[in-house]
């Protein structure tokens, strides 16, 4: 393609990455400021957990409608609307309203970050990327998103320190720091929304794809998609890959309990692991375009599963080995996240139904948000006070699901090879006939 066209696409991808990397940190502000949120809103841990449980349910419910919207409304408007609603809701959130109103805040965020955003952002990236560069584009989306989140989080922590002070803050200073952080995220969201509105308006938007073929009814599109075998295989790959990713939430606790690592040292290790996201995303996408997406996924999922099993079998005192394994597993997990959506184009989904396909695959693939907490809860309840044993078993169970995912990725590669062979045979048969 012409150099100018490629430059436009890269710039648009950068804006989409900024959008994806800036919209969720405000919703998941608890990751860095949980204690402050509890203090400012006078919440208990269980009340905050209930809000996020509700958010998870909204996400799962919203994936398929999200795809339906992405096929019928220009994605530029959906993305801008999502960023704007998230920011406006954030401005209300920054006023520290009564905690009874937080239910509506999180409902609005759930709607804006999934119903009108999720499939729109993925569909846009899918249609921006040429077939030979899908791995790089989706790897750049996830790796770049992680980099944006890390940079914004660093700025947020610094800003909070300026307004709240370096010591133990009282209520007033905690509120001031909290408000400064929320205002910062809202300002970033609004700025990105304005840029996307103007840049995507005269660039390559996904609306052009829906004009190329008629839009089917919702039920017809769903029936058509559900008949595509590759869609089901990709859904399994995504489910297993996301299950593996869930293990990283337990690394800090594992280091604390199983290996007696101090909370500070465990935090250092997990922060180092977080910085593997841009490396894993960009690196995984680059390798996927050269070695094959399914092959890279199968290897990465197998390696991550092996690393989790290795962690579960480590004897006490193996701190250095555990640190290396945690960072290495994190690198593979982020490579998996950066690559698995690049399989979408190989699923032969019609461009006009790409959004609904993303919704269906997301519905299945992100079920671990509901399933894994239930599995881990059952494991920890069965082990009682033996938290170390529960941690180890959880890693083994997660690894087993990851191995299933590696098998599904390998099977996807087999399907692609059969398709290429059949297409080559068809071309070969047509040539003598044409002659």
Specify the pTM. Answer: 0.78
As a CATH number, domain 218-421 is 1.20.1250.20
What does the alpha-carbon distance between residue 175 and residue 23 come to, in Å, rounded to a whole number?
A: 22
Q: How far is CA 372 from CA 166, 227, 309, 388, 398, in A?
A: 37, 28, 17, 18, 9
Q: Report whether 121 contacts 362 (CB < 8 A).
A: no
Walking along the chain (435 residues) 10 residues at a time, the average pLDDT comes out as 63 89 88 80 81 84 86 88 96 93 93 90 83 80 85 84 74 89 95 88 46 58 84 95 90 85 75 84 88 93 96 87 93 92 85 82 88 85 89 95 96 89 68 54
What is each CA distance from 418 to 37, 44, 297, 298, 314, in whole angstroms? 54, 55, 19, 18, 41
Cα-Cα-Cα-Cα dihedral sign, residues 53, 126, 132, 414: positive
Q: Which residues contact 229 (CB under 8 A, 6 or more apart)?
A: 415
Q: 36 Cβ partners below 8 Å, 6+ apart?
A: 160, 164, 169, 174, 177, 178
- Cα dist from 368 to 59, 106, 249, 309, 339, whole Å: 12, 20, 13, 19, 18
- pLDDT score for 328: 95
| DSSP string across 108-148 | HHHIIIIITTHHHHHHHHHHHS-GGGHHHHHHHHHHHHHHH
**CATH code for the domain defined by 1-201:** 1.20.1250.20
Which token pair is 398? 């997660």
Collect all residues with Cβ–Cβ distance below 8 Å to 375 and sequence separation of at least 6.
Answer: 394, 397
Dist. CA 372–CA 375, nearest whole Å: 5
pLDDT at 3: 44
Which pLDDT belongs to residue 426? 67
pLDDT computed for residue 5 by the predictor: 66
pLDDT at 9: 81
Q: Do domains 1-201 and 218-421 have the same CATH topology?
A: yes
Of 126, 121, 149, 123, give the one whose Cα is nearest residue 136. Answer: 126
The answer to whether the CB of 205 falls within 8 A of the CB of 74 is yes
Instruction: Report the 10 Å Cβ neighbour count for 42.
Output: 11
- Domain regions of the chain by residue span: 1-201, 218-421
């Amino acid at each position: 393609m012409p150099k100018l066209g490629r430059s436009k696409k890269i710039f648009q991808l950068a804006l989409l990455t900024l959008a994806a990397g800036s919209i969720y940190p405000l919703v998941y502000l608890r990751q860095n400021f949980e204690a402050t949120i509890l203090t400012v809103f006078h919440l208990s841990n269980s009340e905050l957990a209930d809000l996020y449980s509700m958010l998870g349910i909204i996400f799962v419910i919203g994936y398929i409608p999200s795809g339906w919207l992405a096929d019928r409304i220009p994605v530029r408007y959906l993305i801008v609307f999502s960023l704007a609603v998230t920011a406006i809701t954030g401005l209300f959130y920054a006023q520290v309203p009564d905690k009874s109103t937080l239910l509506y805040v999180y409902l609005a965020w759930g709607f804006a970050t999934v119903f009108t955003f999720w499939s729109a952002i993925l569909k846009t990236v899918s249609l921006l990327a040429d077939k030979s560069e899908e791995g790089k584009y989706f790897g750049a989306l996830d790796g770049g998103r992680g980099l944006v989140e890390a940079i914004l989080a660093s700025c947020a922590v610094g800003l909070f320190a300026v307004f709240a002070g370096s010591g133990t803050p009282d209520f007033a200073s905690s509120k001031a720091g909290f408000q400064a952080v929320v205002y910062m995220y809202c300002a970033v969201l609004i700025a990105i929304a304005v840029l996307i509105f103007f840049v995507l308006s005269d660039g390559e938007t996904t609306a052009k794809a829906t004009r190329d073929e008629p839009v089917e009814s919702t039920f017809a599109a769903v029936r058509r998609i559900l008949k595509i075998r590759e869609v089901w295989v990709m859904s399994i790959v995504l489910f297993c890959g996301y299950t593996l990713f869930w293990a990283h939430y337990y690394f800090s606790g594992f280091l604390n309990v199983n290996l007696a690592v101090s909370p500070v040292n465990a935090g250092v290790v997990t922060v180092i692991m977080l910085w593997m996201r841009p490396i894993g995303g960009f690196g995984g996408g680059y390798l996927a375009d050269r070695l094959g997406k399914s092959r890279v996924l199968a290897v990465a999922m197998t390696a991550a599963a092996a690393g989790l099993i290795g962690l579960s079998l480590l004897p006490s005192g193996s701190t250095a080995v555990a640190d290396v394994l945690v960072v290495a597993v994190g690198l593979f997990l982020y490579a998996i996240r950066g690559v698995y959506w690049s399989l979408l184009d190989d699923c032969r989904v019609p461009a006009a139904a790409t959004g609904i396909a993303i919704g269906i695959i997301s519905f299945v693939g992100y079920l671990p948000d509901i399933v894994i907490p239930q599995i881990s809860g059952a494991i920890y309840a069965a082990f009682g006070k033996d938290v170390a044993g529960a941690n180890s078993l959880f890693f083994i169970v997660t690894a087993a699901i990851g191995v299933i995912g590696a098998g599904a990725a390998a099977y996807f590669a087999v399907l692609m090879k059969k398709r290429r062979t059949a297409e080559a045979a068809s071309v070969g048969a047509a040539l003598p006939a044409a002659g």
